[in-house]
Amino acid sequence: MTDPWLMDAADVVRMLGGDAGSGLTSAEAAERLARVGPNRLHAAPEVPAWRKLLLQFADPLVYLLIAATVVSLVAWALEGADGTPYEAIVIAVIVVANAVLGFVQERKAERAVAALQRMAATTVGLLRDGRQLRLPTDEVVPGDILVLREGDAVGADGRLLETASLQVAEAPLTGESEPVVKDAATLSGSVELGDRTNMVFSGTAVTRGGGRAVVTATGMDAEMGRIASMLERTKEERTPLQREIDRLGRILGIAVIAIAAVVVLAIALTSDLRTASDLVEVLLIGVSLAVAAVPESLSAVLTVVLALGVRRMAQQHAIVTKLSSVETLGSASVICTDKTGTLTRNEMTIQRIVTRSGAVTATGVGYDPTGRILADGEPLGDGRLLEEVRVVVGGGSLANEAILHRTDGAWTIQGDPTDAAFLVAERKLGITDERTERFTRAGLVPFTSERGLMSSVVSDGRRAGRWLVITKGAPDILLTRCTRERVGTEDLELTQERRAQILKVVDHLGDEALRTLGVALRVQEGDPPRSDESAERDLVFAGVVGMIDPPRPEAVASIAEAQRAGIRVVMITGDHPRTAARIASDLGIEPDPARRAVVSGRELDDMDDEAFARTVRSVSAFARVAPEHKLRIVDALQADGNIVAMTGDGVNDAPALKAADIGIAMGITGTEVAKEAAKMILADDNFATIVAAVREGRAIFANIRKFLRYLLSSNIGEVLTMLLGVVGASVIGLRVGAGAVAAPLLATQILWINLVTDSGPALAMGVDPPPRDVMERAPRRTTDRMVDRGLQLEVLFVGLIMALVTLLTIDMKLPGGLIPGSGDLTGARTAGFTVLVLAQLFNCFNARSGRDSAFRNLFTNPLLWAAIGLSLVAQVAVVHVSILNEAFDTAPLSAGDWALCMAMASLVLWVEELRKLIVRIRARRPAGPRRATGPADPDPASPARRAGT
């Protein structure tokens, strides 16, 4: 195919078998999609399931267990291969079971994340079957007709067919910093990529205007695909939370391997090792220590809990595109939010219309056109005022791209809410049919944030050769383009005095929290006006409308909740400062009347860096801001140490969204560029959803702390049981034969404990209801350690209690020791083994809070009870099923033994309850002045929380 930029646009469409007027049919598109494949870059080859399963064994601990299995088998063979090598078999089975469990959990997490990515997939505007649709980018095929609008991401390479002030940001492809002006004219000669002005390319973004293009290449055939094919796949960065968990695992592993080596060496030096079986027994003690220390299921549990949390956020209309963002959400200290649609309903309603002859009021709210136009409380009668109001409302409806329609009894719109407000007011005035039958649009000058205006060029069906330019926009900007004013059916000169009066009206409407918009027109005979900015001159000012976007009822409550949580809410809007001040006051965004209410973008421009920083620190509402102001506000807040969430919907918001710690794009009104720059997408464009997502993020972090407290204290308990049992063997009677030391528990028993008590309860804690005061704490800093000093002391304390009750139970069952008993080693180990399992199950309730009683909200998590029940059933089986007795070297326990084990294990709960009671009593005592060291820790029992910070 000849280079499309060197061909006439019609020839390109014909060569590709397309149709510029109606696009491809669905059948043609489906056939092409099957032939050329989805429109996406080739992903790295998916790792086969069998390989992912094998990767579960790629862990130093697993290597150690495999080595222990081999040693056990060799010893069994050297002793004549007598009987079944239960120990080796059990270790191997448990290693495989742990690997399978981790594999299944990771697959579930991958599927959950993939589902979220599908929810956040980008879409493009297309012509299909003669209709304009938005379809997933993956479904674009060569020959499709792209419909490009400001804010859209370009979904494929295409030859432009028509343009309207089209500009495209091509920095991702060419490095060009400024948007490129596009034109459909055919090029000639050798043209570099950056100079192909009649082409658009996949991966770029429309920053201004619109147009249509025929798709020439998709997927890896597009320019972006060619570049991607030359790049190596970038390795995904691990999140801060994952890195901290890795760090924790390394520290635990190194420490316990060192302890295990010392213990094994001490036993070897003090015991008479005569056979290979003796050597294996000593090595297995070392293995037991290593196994006891490391929570093998931690990584898998963490991934699943994050994925489940993100899934819950999606159900609440907050689509998080990366798991790592969950960590940051819980730390947000400032939320910078748009007003329109986020804090308000985004259903603009015209309430006031002011012209030269007077003012009228429109009743009704929202898109339902039920309502009337009233003058001084009475229906509007004939006369000059009616004529002027008809021009304002009808003109605003002509300079319009929205569509108002009724679906299932409800009125909805397609397009901009401001445009829709004119359509609703027009229906209330009863002039819809007249406008649609008389006027035909011939051209459009799209709205841009730089101009603050939009215009339509229309032909008058009642008079050939008569054209109208209808312009609407910000009144102060529009007045600079006007020379006359409509009075009844006449046009009079617009004097400076009259301009000042109009601006006073605008200020008055702004004081009433109304958004103002002016409407103007120009009549031209003969040739049609050009559809560009040159048409917006010598206009006749028609009047001003005052609109309101009513606040969302839930926004007030959500802002109050955020403020109680120590999160500052900052409103950034393009509205008039007076409107912004009223809305901020109504919503409770600025509760301190001593502070400055609103600062405008123009005032920000006049500030140096120091004054700007002071202003951002003290002001919570900004009006008439430009995109660069948003970015500068984010930078200033971050420089003060804040974790900033920023909402946005337009192309111009993308830099601020990217710079913010949490960029939040609007799912309904947001452009594709904004969605791609964001880390979270609001499916309902509602501020309350942001606060709900922060609440969920904090709850997820709190639950991670819960299962870390549980896993680490349980594993520390196992380590101390093995360590203290070996070191104090003579004290509790753990010596057999010729003074040889017997391990308090076998390696297989430790493995069993980790299998039945780690994964299930830890996962259940990951979905525990959030703490009652999760939104009453100051934001967590991202530099705060997940396992801080307070948590370290807690897990060490609980682990020590576990070890002591386990060893004391073993002592009770063995002859000699502190409490002489009459049992044998197998029975004593079984009792100690059971106590340690039960103690960890009791510890499930301890770990739900570092301060609150375990009996508070005891039955709010049925999954936790189910996990505990399954673990208890498994422990009963390993004690009473004969084949498991042989495998794990256990013996059945009597009813009295079970009662003793239950009582001893419950001491973990009662001692921890006593500690928590002391913590709560100390917290209620009046505290002297303290210097706050930072935001409160997520755990109410942490040192920061106890210190009152």
Tokens of 807: 């060893």
| β-strand partners of 818 | none
The torsion region of residue 166 among left (phi > 0), alpha (psi -120 to 50) and beta comes to beta
Q: How far is the C-alpha of 709 from the C-alpha of 248, rounded, in Å?
A: 13
Q: Residue 306 and residue 314: Cα distance in Å, rounded?
A: 12
* Residues 6+ positions from 680 with CB-CB distance below 8 Å: 318, 319, 320, 321, 325, 329, 662, 663, 664, 665, 693
Contact 304, 695 (CB under 8 A): no
Return the ∠ at Cα 747 (arms to 741 and 750), rounded to 5°: 115
Among candidate residues 59, 144, 338, 897, the one labeled active-site is 338
What residues does 484 pair with on adjacent strands?
Answer: 493, 540
Tokens (6 digits) for 920: 């709560």
Q: Say whether 527 is catalytic.
A: no
**279 exposure class (CB count in 10 Å sphere: 0-12, 13-18, 19+):** middle
Which one, of 774, 771, 768, lies nearest residue 861 by Cα?
A: 768
Q: Tokens 């969605």 identify what position?
A: 675
- Alpha-carbon distance of 871 to 756, in angstroms, equals 5
The Cα-based distances of 929 to 554, 755, 932, 934, 948 in angstroms read 37, 48, 9, 15, 10
Rounded to a whole number, what is the distance in angstroms from the first to the last CA of the chain? 69
Return the H-helix or E-strand segment holding 644: strand 644-648
* Coil, helix or strand at residue 457: strand
**Is the backbone of residue 430 left (phi > 0), alpha (psi -120 to 50) or beta?**
left
Task: Say which amino acid occupies 555.
Answer: A
How many other C-beta atoms lie within 10 A of the C-beta of residue 90? 23
**DSSP notation for 368-388:** -----EEETTEE--SSHHHHH
Other Cβ atoms less than 10 A from the Cβ of 177: the count is 8
Give the residue carrying structure tokens 């003290």: 618
- Measure the CA–CA gap between 160 and 688, rounded to whole angstroms: 41
What's the rounded Cα separation, in Å, for the pair 629 and 574?
11
Q: Could you tell me which of 163, 155, 150, 158 has the C-alpha nearest to residue 134? A: 155
How is residue 515 written in tokens? 């958004």
Query: Is residue 297 within 8 Å of residue 304, measured between CB atoms?
Result: no
CA dist list (Å): 517 to 67, 229, 472: 78, 50, 7
Give every CB contact of residue 163 below 8 A, 6+ residues apart in sequence: 182, 183, 184, 209, 210, 211
Question: Is the separation of the CB atoms in 655 and 678 below 8 Å?
Answer: no
Those residues whose C-beta lies under 8 Å from the C-beta of residue 737, and which sit 6 or more positions away, are none
Check: CB of residue 113 under 8 Å from CB of residue 120. Answer: no
3-class state of residue 661 by DSSP: coil
At 698, which helix (H) or strand (E)?
A: helix 687-727
> What single-letter amino acid sits at 198?
N
DSSP character string of 788-802:
-HHHHHHHHHHHHHH
Hey, what are 338's tokens? 């748009």
The catalytic residues are 338
